[in-house]
Amino acid sequence: MASCFVDTVHAAGFQMEYACFGEGDIPLVVIPGLSIKSVVKSASALEGPFKIFREHYKLYFFDRKKEAELGYSLPQMAEDQVTALKALGIDNACVYGVSQGGMIAQYMAIRYPELVQKLVLGSSTSKAEPLQITTIQNWARLARAHDATALVNAFIDDCFSEKFAARYRRALLALYKEISDEELDRFALFADACDYVDTYNNLGKIKCQTLVLGAGKDRVTTPEASIKMAEKLKAEGGPCESYMYEGCGHAVFDELPDYKQRIFDFLEK
């Protein structure tokens, strides 16, 4: 029986929606990447892919805050995320950040090391590579032009492997129908922030156990970004593990069941 519920945390003058499920005692905070529609809107669909976690963990999936304005930066997103967690009484958690969510998670682990027990960074980066800027700014341009059809198709082609996109394009398009202009404007606002991720020189401040997962054919944040991030963490003496899914695209986290198992095994060590 589905047990996922959606709620809103009110903290420091802002609101942030989240979905929660699981029976475990350990909080596992999942910070999604850029999404044209909030993952919280399809919260019930999260339980299946994350079912292996539910016995040992209490999972929290967060949207960005509702009151975001032009110029909203990644460090501000991290501060607001921490504020939201504290408002929920979460002062120590495992954190799994995907793509932009991984950027936010890095700022959290750097600034609030006592909050992050273990860290997983999937298809993310600590410094924007040229391809990332080109890809994500194209998304932002299409979003600002309110060209939802072109944006959705570009998003699918850039994020998923060719085989996956060909097989599931119809289903993916169905997920993104009836996109409002407000959702498009909000997407563009968050997309702009990705250009300015800048945690590389501070990765040595991350002291918790960290798992970096990259994709060999990532056309968004790029495989080079994951490699550089893992190498820097290891060079700084941090307890870092890494794995590269060769032949897979940016959204490998949605394509391969093994991905969740690898995260689970890391958290259980």
Q: Which of 237, 233, 224 is nearest to 199 (CA)?
A: 233
Q: Identify the pLDDT of residue 12.
A: 85
CATH architecture of 5-127+196-268: 3-Layer(aba) Sandwich (3.40)
Residue-level pLDDT, tens digit, the chain, 269 residues: 458 899 999 998 899 999 999 999 999 999 999 999 998 888 888 899 999 999 999 999 999 999 999 999 999 999 999 999 999 999 999 999 999 999 999 999 999 999 999 999 999 999 999 999 999 999 999 999 999 999 999 999 999 999 999 999 999 898 888 899 999 999 999 999 999 999 999 999 999 999 999 999 999 999 999 999 999 999 999 999 999 999 999 999 999 989 999 999 999 99
Alpha helices per DSSP H over the chain: 74-87, 100-111, 130-144, 148-159, 162-175, 181-193, 223-235, 252-255, 257-268
Q: How far apart are CA 267 and CA 116, in angstroms?
A: 12
Q: Which of 137, 176, 129, 132 is nearest to 153 (CA)?
A: 176
